[in-house]
Amino acid sequence: MSKVGAEHKPRLGCNTTSFQKKSRSKLVSIPGTRPSVQNGQLIVSTGVTSLDYVIGGGLAVGTLLLIEEDKYDSYSRMLLKYFLAEGVVCGHNLFIASARDHPEDILQELPAPILDDIASTRVEEGQTKLGDPEGQDSMKIAWRYQNLPKVQTALASSSRFGHYYDVSKTMDAEMRQTTKCNSFFLPDELPINSATEPSQMNEGYMALLRSIQGVIRREGFDGATPQNKSRNILRIGLHSLGSALWGDDICCKENPSNASSLTTFLYGLRALLRSSLSVGVVTVPSHLIQNRAIMGRVTKLCDTAIALESFKGLEGETNPLYKDYHGLLHVKQIPHLNCLVCEVPDTKDLAFKLKRKQFTIETCQTQ
């Protein structure tokens, strides 16, 4: 009836095990996190189960995920909202920073979670098929396989870590208000007409870094809390860093006046993340950055890096193989955290599709 001890299954090529290591009571048990089966790190879900699978089970606490935006920032913004919505559902604290839209607006657009049991959503799909026994899809002999998908293209691990969201509805206000959310909206924090003095880091980034540091210290995510407070994770979501609205001109010029401003900020941010119980997701409009070397440095400074390429942004006709999908997903980097090898997905041809109830990432089937 229960799992017997803490066995170690042989490592399979893909992460489809439902094995969960029995945790000892000494480890921190924070809701919404679990130890990774690969390297024992504490991981949280990104909000998208397919993405969790692709980056090796989830986002490790203390690391930074870089999302290179697609051309019109539709899907990267959606991923950021999934990440924040997952934080609300798990009860984590949030920190949202943006220079374009007010963080309150982003919070109001969070998708509503589907809180039923995951198995029951499958039942709904099965019931509609059963109503028509003479239909095309019903099988006479192999009827037990009727409800299974034809080809297992969606990537997901079978353990229930992470939730599903319905993008056509927004989250209820009561659910949102239960989480503590800190926000940083650049036009409110810095006056626009302030003269920019040459310094190591752009003023906007400096203010943001100080704000994050302040929140971590004040709320005690770095372990400085008194003992009676229970531990929680801080989810940091930074929207569109490096764009012109942050006061950074790496998107405007090939020789920006301060090319290392963003990279210095990321270095400082990663130091803060490593020393506290927090997870960071940053979106960067890489298609606007003129100097290719900067993007390489930015990727190296983040732990996990993915890039989204939407088919809407492409000129001309797209490959007919891609008509079912909305874009391609490129995994640029996966970190080695306290281990020598990291789990990478089997194939590099990953395509994503934003459906109403799920953001699926599938391997492109080449016929």
| Contact footprint for another protein (CB under 8 A) | 1-2, 4-6, 22, 24, 72-75, 77-78, 99-100, 117, 119-120, 122-123, 126, 130, 133, 140-141, 143-144, 146-147, 187, 192-193, 243-245, 247-249, 251-254, 285, 287-290, 310, 312-313, 316-318, 320
**DSSP single-letter state for residue 24:** P
Three-class secondary structure of residue 238 per DSSP: strand
Radius of gyration of the chain (CA): 22
Neighbours of 201 (CB within 10 A): 20
Q: How far apart are CA 10 and CA 99, in angstroms?
A: 47
CB of 183 to another protein, least distance (A): 15
**DSSP single-letter state for residue 80:** H
CB of 71 to another protein, least distance (A): 8
CB of 297 to another protein, least distance (A): 17
CB of 245 to another protein, least distance (A): 6
Written as six digits, the tokens of 239 are: 């929207």
Beta carbon nearer to another protein, 194 or 227: 194
Beta carbon nearer to another protein, 24 or 229: 24
Beta carbon nearer to another protein, 19 or 72: 72
Beta carbon nearer to another protein, 8 or 229: 8
Residues in the chain: 367
CB of 365 to another protein, least distance (A): 17
End-to-end C-alpha distance for the chain, whole angstroms: 44
Nearest to 91 by CA among 233, 258, 203, 208: 233
Cβ atoms of residues 155 and 345 within 8 Å: yes
Paired with 165 in beta bridges are 113
Task: Say which residues have a Cβ less than 8 Å from residue 177's Cβ, sequence separation at least 6.
Answer: none
CB of 119 to another protein, least distance (A): 4
Sheet-wide strand order for 234-238: 181-185, 93-98, 234-238, 278-284, 64-68, 304-310, 327-333, 350-354, 359-363
Beta carbon nearer to another protein, 102 or 176: 102
Beta carbon nearer to another protein, 129 or 218: 129
CB of 111 to another protein, least distance (A): 12
Beta carbon nearer to another protein, 1 or 12: 1
CB of 22 to another protein, least distance (A): 7
Beta carbon nearer to another protein, 136 or 193: 193
Dihedral over Cα of 47, 48, 52, 55: its sign = negative
Cβ atoms of residues 361 and 329 within 8 Å: yes
